[in-house]
Amino acid sequence: MASTTFPVAAEMLAKLLPDDEVLVDHRRVDEPVDVIVPLMSRIDAGMMDRFRPRLIQQFGVGLEGVDLAAAAERGIAVANVAGHDTGNADGVGEIAVLHLLALTRRLHEAREAVQAGKLGEPIGVPLSGARIVVLGLGAVGRAVVNRLSGFRAHITGVGSRDASDLSDEVRALALEAYLPVARLLDALAGADALIVGCVLNQHTRGLVGARTLAALRTGGYLVNVARGPVVDYAALLAALRSGQIGGAGLDVFWDEPIDPLDPLLEQNVSVTPHIGGVTTGSYRLMAERVVAGIERHRG
């Protein structure tokens, strides 16, 4: 079993698989393995040929880093862990709200004010009454909406389905409006914030670009807890530099981990190192499901 990131996940798997060898750095592995747990690492044909696994089992939902066609050609099973019943989506929803609050209440500046011995500044922007668009209404998007509704924000949901074909879970959300993704710009017109929680695929890569960001009110906020490439990097950097948007909250990046010298980090951004789903409860349940998947393929 090989992994290179998210060390807590490897530690949990090692405890749950005491009779197996859990290898935590693929660069030091020079022999075949039975299972690869990607943990956000790119698993391409070359890596499959190098390690010759029987199973690629993701510790979580996303499989965009796995070359599924190459795995199918080699007869390698690929599996993931659904996020709706492990607490993963709930954790990501919490991180989204954390970033939005950090931006609207100017947390970085508030910490600087403490260091400077100041009181009563900076002035923040309330979430109550704010117009917020949530892009993607899967498990993560629904978790975001459920948390924001407690702030009495006005929430518009944007998803891939027509309004006449919504799931019961989406219909139950406290949304003021729902629009299909084809009308994303309409949903964003004058909105205070956009929270990105959709999957990354050929349709959503670069979906949030210059026109999308420009549709927000001037000085509005972007929060991305989905995948970095859903947002166009150059467009985001330009919008931050120009003041078109007032700040961005990012738990995900285009290349992970992000370069500490990335010019994006010189702007008004709130960042966390892809920890949305990294909670004790979520990791315990996901580790158990990963082990169950491994046991199904053992033999």
Confidence band for 96, pLDDT divided at 50, 70 and 90: very high
Give the model's pLDDT for residue 155: 98
Q: What is the DSSP string of 55-88?
A: EEE-SSS--TTB-HHHHHHTT-EEE---STTTSH
Residue 256 is among the residues annotated as catalytic for this protein:
yes
SS3 294: helix
Q: Are 224 and 248 in contact (CB under 8 A)?
A: yes
Count of alpha carbons within 13 Å of 183, Cβ hemisphere only? Answer: 13
Catalytic residue among 84, 256, 288, 297: 256
Of 50-54, 131-135, 154-158, 228-232, the one with minimum mean pLDDT is 50-54
DSSP lists the bridge partners of residue 247 as 221
Residue 50 is among the residues annotated as catalytic for this protein:
no
Give the model's pLDDT for residue 36: 93
Cα separation values, 230 from 8, 204, 207, 253, 264, Å: 27, 6, 6, 10, 16
The whole-number average pLDDT for the span 120-142 is: 97
The whole-number average pLDDT for the span 266-288 is: 94
Taking the C-alpha atoms of residue 219 and residue 106, their distance in angstroms, rounded to an integer, is 13
Catalytic residue among 99, 106, 274, 289: 274
The residue type of 266 is E
Task: Look at the pTM and tell me if it is higher than 0.85.
Answer: yes
The fraction of the chain above a pLDDT of 90, given in percent, is 82
How long is the chain? 299
Residue 296 is among the residues annotated as catalytic for this protein:
no
2-38 residue pLDDT tens: 445 788 888 899 999 999 988 876 677 778 999 999 8
